[in-house]
Amino acid sequence: MENITIIKIIAVLLVIIGILTAVIIFLYKVKSLWLRAQLMGIRINPLKLLFMRMGRRDPSLFLELTIKSAQNNLDLDSKKIESLIASNTIEDARKIIDALALAKRSGIPDDFDFFQSFILEGGDIKVLMESKNLADKAGLEINLSDLSGHALSNGNIKQVVKSMSMAKKADLNLSFNHAAAIDMAGHDIFDAVLTAVQPKIIKTEPVTAITKNGIRMSASARITIETNLDHLIGGAGRETILSRAGESLIAAISSAESHNDILEHPESVSDKVWKEEMDEDTAFNILSLELTDIEIVENIGEKQRVQKAETDAKIARADAERKEHEVRIKIMETRARLMEEEIKIPSAMAQALSSGKLGITDYYKFKKLRTGMMDKDLSAKNLKNNEES
């Protein structure tokens, strides 16, 4: 019986020793934060921290957030901080306290529920605060709720605020809702406002066309544009203006009577292009248009005349060769008939000699005449061969 009592006493002592050891370890871990809180005048019961540990809550985080809250003069009691830790992850709890501190320093109302909701929905509190500060410095009346709503919709609130600030300086009427709508439509709102304030120059690719006098010419159009903020949503882009300008430029060059008209009076072409109202249904207004990079590519008329002359020469050569060939054929046919007749001469002469119609003197005269004719043919043939060689 006494042995059992001793065992129970030892067991109780071991439990007490274990508890004391845990308390000592716990106090060692949190003592720096607890002492820091005490030095700042924050009264926290150590037993409360112990009970938090026993309830599987992090007393170190509670002390950390409590100290931050006090440092930034946040109106958060211990119950609110405990609720913050219980309903959020450690990272989100720290973000919320940092957001409240940043808002306090920026002079923005530190709405606990608002910042907690914004962070839990994935918002970037730093960007939100920076955007709000930019808006306030620029004298823009933008509610924090409007900024947060646009940010949570994946809008670029910093660019929107910068654009509105630029528009205000340039006396352009641009509301937050309009700027946010432009941003959500996928446009670069800052570049759009910048182009409205400082017009930009765009340039077409070189196009070629043939004037009425057969000269192929190349030219480009340099166009000065400004953004029409009222037509930016739904309006066609710069590519439409460049495409229309290129088509109009081709038509204007093609309608010119002479290339000299374009070289001497380029404004006549640019005026024709200008009248086409290329900025209709686009997001831009055209302020000016100028013809540039004017070049003569080639003389199509002269090229066609040369080609026609070459073709005519080829046809003439072919016709001459055909006629020469026909003459040769006729000569060959004549020679063939002559040879047929010459074959008949010996027998005819023999009959004439035998019948007494042709004397021996006549025969030798004929033979001499034939020999002379053959010599002439041979001389003419040799002369032709020499000329050809």
Contacts of 247 (CB under 8 A, 6+ apart): none
Compute CA distances 128 → 111, 144, 185, 265, 363, whole Å: 14, 8, 21, 56, 135
Average pLDDT of the residues of the chain: 76
Query: What integer pLDDT is reported at residue 273 of this predicted model?
Result: 83
Mean pLDDT of 164-191: 91
Q: What is the DSSP letter of 236?
A: B
Q: Which residue has the higher pLDDT, 73 or 278?
A: 278
Query: What integer pLDDT is reported at residue 42 of this predicted model?
Result: 60
**pTM for this prediction:** 0.57
DSSP string, 269-312: HHHHHHTT-TTTTBSEEEEEEEEEEEEEEEEHHHHHHHHHHHHH
The backbone torsions φ and ψ at residue 175, rounded to the nearest 5 degrees and listed phi first, read -80, 165
CB–CB of 228/235 below 8 Å?
yes
Most confident of 4-13, 271-280, 362-371: 271-280
Does residue 318 have a pLDDT over 60? yes
CB–CB of 201/223 below 8 Å?
yes
Query: What integer pLDDT is reported at residue 365 of this predicted model?
Result: 65
SS3 helix, strand, coil % of the chain, rounded to 5?
70, 10, 20
Q: Which residue has the higher pLDDT, 380 or 191?
A: 191
Does residue 88 have a pLDDT over 80? no
Token representation of residue 117: 């909701």
Report d(CA 209, CA 216) in Å as an integer. 6
Query: What integer pLDDT is reported at residue 389 of this predicted model?
Result: 54
Q: Which residue has the higher pLDDT, 319 or 252?
A: 252
Domains located in the chain, CATH noted: 2-122 (no CATH), 200-299 (3.30.479.30)
The band of 111, judged by pLDDT with boundaries at 50, 70 and 90, is confident
- Closest CA relative to residue 237, chosen from 279, 280, 283, 278: 283
Does residue 52 have a pLDDT over 90? no
Mean pLDDT of 159-170: 93
Query: What integer pLDDT is reported at residue 327 of this predicted model?
Result: 74
Query: What integer pLDDT is reported at residue 167 of this predicted model?
Result: 92
Mean pLDDT of 74-86: 73
Query: What integer pLDDT is reported at residue 56 of this predicted model?
Result: 57
Range from 142-151, 153-162, 238-247, 380-389 carrying the lowest mean pLDDT: 380-389
Does residue 379 have a pLDDT over 60? no
Query: What integer pLDDT is reported at residue 20 of this predicted model?
Result: 55
Does residue 336 have a pLDDT over 60? yes
